[in-house]
């Protein structure tokens, strides 16, 4: 069958307010052409992020009702802990309000001044928390991972020779090795089991603990099942269990592959680090059986973890992403290849060669998409990364627009609608204007800057 069928029915709906092109032109003009400044009810298809935007199932909502809000020793915690341990058999499971809180605790304990923390690619909050501790965040993804056109099936892999070299020369400064699965910053690209095993071997050789930043572990496991030799007959759950058997611990944002709107955790085997982590948790998040969460949130995660490894779900999820990617490729829109697990990235600089990088082709495309169809995407390019600390500008490595797809929220006809809007926009792409920034803060300007079209 070529029809992609959502493996769920819809019981509760949220209306989408249908707007016109004229209304949207006015709304985005008033927002200073910054899509973060829009009210989200003026957006028809919101592809800004897949984080915290999942639709929960009926079983999760009933889990919410059975949540126990006891301050200490809640049964919700024990249900959460056993659901985590069923997939990720770590000795200590410490709940936090989201992924970055787990990172903050981990790097406060493990990193610090003068240290270096290697990863395939650090996600931005991970990098920021490593740096906040005084350490340096080092990215060691394989060279194929940096080339948007390369079709390598596991572009998230770590360059294990580079890791080995770094550990040989600077073992004393490296307290921990991280691996991001899937590699979000690199386009949602997976890491192979073979590479995970090789990273483990290097870590063993130098006696360094290995931690996963595991936000999209289920999507990664599904890619292993479908792309790596020897895994086709294994269940996703078995693959997930094998994957985590190679790690000493993990940080997690439950806002991704735990199918909830808030939550996270830090899990690890080391007793000393776990005790320090719980002490910090009490200072910054809460008592160790609830972390920064309500009991009901822990129950929603427990159920979400069982649902995320269901193969019908993952088959539909990945097929739907690939369907979108293929349609764009067929109409001549350049995208980052292969399509990752949670998003399609359009190469706006190649698509709009008439707009120089310092006139923000990614911003132009993102604004165009909103005006055309009420679709909100995210510029990941010169607006986000182009400002140097001294206030001058340089083009980012790439000017991308990310279409991140929330889990279980949109149907296949929504995806078809997105494709049709991009088709319409493609026809008038040469008329899309460049932009200039008229107002911007010193840091993280993409959230609040105001723009105007040039000409
Ligand atoms: C989202 C994300 C985080 C941070 O998690 P939050 O829940 O947003 O704090 C860390 N690493 C990766 C790879 C992520 O995608």
The C-alpha atoms of residue 374 and residue 424 are separated, in whole angstroms, by 13
Query: Ligand 1 centre from 125 Cα, in Å?
Result: 7
How confident is the model at residue 140, as a pLDDT? 97
Q: pLDDT tens across 87-104, in order?
A: 999 999 999 999 999 999
378 forms beta bridges with 402
Is there an atom of ligand 1 within 6 Å of 126 CB?
yes
Region 24-49 average pLDDT: 97
The C-alpha atoms of residue 400 and residue 378 are separated, in whole angstroms, by 8
Helices (H) and strands (E) in the chain, counts: 16, 14
Q: pLDDT tens across 302-311, in order?
A: 999 999 999 9
Cβ-based neighbour number of residue 5 at 10 Å = 11
Query: Ligand 1 centre from 379 Cα, in Å?
Result: 18
How confident is the model at residue 228, as a pLDDT? 98
φ/ψ of 139, rounded to 5, equals: -100, 125
How confident is the model at residue 173, as a pLDDT? 97
How confident is the model at residue 184, as a pLDDT? 86
The C-alpha atoms of residue 236 and residue 217 are separated, in whole angstroms, by 10
The C-alpha atoms of residue 343 and residue 345 are separated, in whole angstroms, by 6
DSSP string, 164-228: HHHHHHHGGG---EEEESSBTTTTSB---HHHHHHHHHHHHHHT--EEEE-TTHHHHHHHHHHHS
Which CATH class name applies to 21-50+310-453?
A: alpha beta
- Delimit the domains of the chain by residue range: 21-50+310-453, 58-307
The C-alpha atoms of residue 181 and residue 100 are separated, in whole angstroms, by 15
Nearest CA among 369, 400, 416, 423 for reference residue 25:
369
Q: pLDDT tens across 381-407, in order?
A: 999 989 887 889 999 989 999 999 999
Contacts of residue 281, Cβ cutoff 8 Å, sequence gap at least 6: 94, 96, 105, 288, 291
- Choose which residue among 53, 101, 122, 125 to substitute to test ligand 1 binding: the one with the highest number of ligand atoms within 8 A of its C-beta: 125
Query: What letter does residue 5 receive in the DSSP assignment?
Result: -
Percent over 90 (pLDDT), the chain? 93
Task: Assign 186 a pLDDT band (cuts: 50, 70, 90).
Answer: confident
pLDDT at 443 over 80: no
Task: Assign 1 a pLDDT band (cuts: 50, 70, 90).
Answer: confident
268 forms beta bridges with 92, 249
Distances (CA, A) of 125 to 16, 97, 130, 286, 363: 31, 14, 9, 21, 22
pLDDT at 312 over 90: yes
The C-alpha atoms of residue 289 and residue 85 are separated, in whole angstroms, by 15
Is there an atom of ligand 1 within 6 Å of 195 CB?
no
Q: Which of 123-127, 167-171, 213-217, 348-352 is the least confident region?
A: 123-127
Query: Ligand 1 centre from 256 Cα, in Å?
Result: 8
How confident is the model at residue 185, as a pLDDT? 82
Q: Which CATH architecture has domain 58-307?
A: 3-Layer(aba) Sandwich (3.40)
Provide the Cα torsion 20, 25, 30, 31; round to 10°. Answer: 90
- Choose which residue among 54, 106, 253 to substitute to test ligand 1 binding: the one with the highest number of ligand atoms within 8 A of its C-beta: 253
How confident is the model at residue 99, as a pLDDT? 97
Region 424-431 average pLDDT: 97
φ/ψ of 270, rounded to 5, equals: -70, 125
Q: What angle do CA 189, 194, 197 make, to 5 degrees?
A: 110
Region 204-213 average pLDDT: 98
Query: Ligand 1 centre from 350 Cα, in Å?
Result: 28
Task: Assign 20 a pLDDT band (cuts: 50, 70, 90).
Answer: very high
CA atoms within 13 A on the CB side of 324: 32
Q: pLDDT tens across 254-290, in order?
A: 999 999 999 999 999 999 999 999 999 999 999 999 9
This prediction's pTM: 0.95
The answer to whether 322 and 74 have CB atoms below 8 angstroms apart is no
């Amino acid at each position: 069958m070529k029809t992609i069928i959502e493996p769920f029915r819809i019981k509760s709906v949220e209306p989408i307010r249908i707007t016109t092109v004229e209304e949207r032109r006015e709304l985005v003009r008033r927002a200073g052409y910054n899509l973060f400044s829009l009210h989200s009810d003026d957006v028809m298809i919101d592809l800004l992020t897949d984080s915290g935007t999942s639709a929960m199932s009926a079983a999760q909502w009933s889990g919410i009702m059975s949540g126990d809000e006891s301050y200490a020793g809640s049964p919700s915690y024990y249900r959460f802990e056993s659901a985590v341990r069923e997939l990720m058999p770590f000795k200590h499971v410490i709940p936090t309000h989201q992924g970055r809180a787990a990172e903050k605790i981990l790097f406060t304990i493990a990193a610090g001044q003068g240290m270096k923390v290697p990863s395939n690619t650090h996600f931005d909050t991970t990098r920021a928390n490593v740096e906040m501790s005084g350490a340096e965040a080092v990215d060691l993804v394989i060279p194929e991972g940096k080339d948007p056109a390369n079709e390598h099936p596991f572009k998230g892999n770590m360059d294990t020779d580079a890791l080995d070299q770094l550990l040989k020369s600077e073992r004393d400064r490296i307290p921990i090795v991280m691996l991001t699965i899937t590699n979000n910053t690199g386009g949602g690209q997976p890491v192979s089991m073979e590479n995970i095993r090789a990273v483990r071997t290097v870590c063993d050789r130098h006696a360094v603990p290995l931690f996963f930043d595991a936000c999209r572990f289920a999507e990664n496991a599904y890619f292993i099942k479908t792309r790596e030799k020897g895994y086709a007959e294994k269940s996703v759950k078995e693959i997930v269990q094998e994957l985590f058997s190679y790690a000493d611990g993990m940080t997690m944002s439950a806002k991704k592959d735990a199918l909830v709107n808030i939550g996270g955790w830090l899990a690890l085997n080391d007793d000393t680090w776990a005790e320090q982590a719980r002490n910090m948790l009490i200072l910054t998040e809460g008592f160790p059986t609830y972390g920064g969460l309500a009991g009901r949130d822990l129950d929603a995660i427990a159920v979400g973890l069982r649902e995320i490894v269901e193969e019908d779900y993952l088959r539909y999820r990945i097929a739907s992403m690939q369907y979108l990617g293929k349609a764009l490729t067929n109409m001549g829109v350049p995208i980052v290849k292969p399509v990752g697990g949670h998003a399609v990235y359009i190469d706006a600089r190649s698509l709009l060669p008439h707009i120089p990088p310092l006139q923000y082709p990614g911003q132009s495309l993102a604004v165009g998409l909103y005006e055309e169809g009420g679709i909100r995407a995210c510029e990941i390019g010169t607006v986000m990364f182009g400002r140097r600390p001294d206030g001058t500008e340089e083009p980012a490595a790439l000017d991308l627009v990310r279409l991140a797809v929330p889990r279980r929220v949109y149907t296949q006809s929504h995806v078809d609608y997105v494709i049709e809007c991009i088709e319409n926009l493609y026809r008038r792409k040469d008329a899309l204007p460049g932009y200039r920034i008229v107002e911007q803060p010193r840091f993280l300007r993409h959230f609040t800057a105001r723009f105007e079209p040039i000409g």
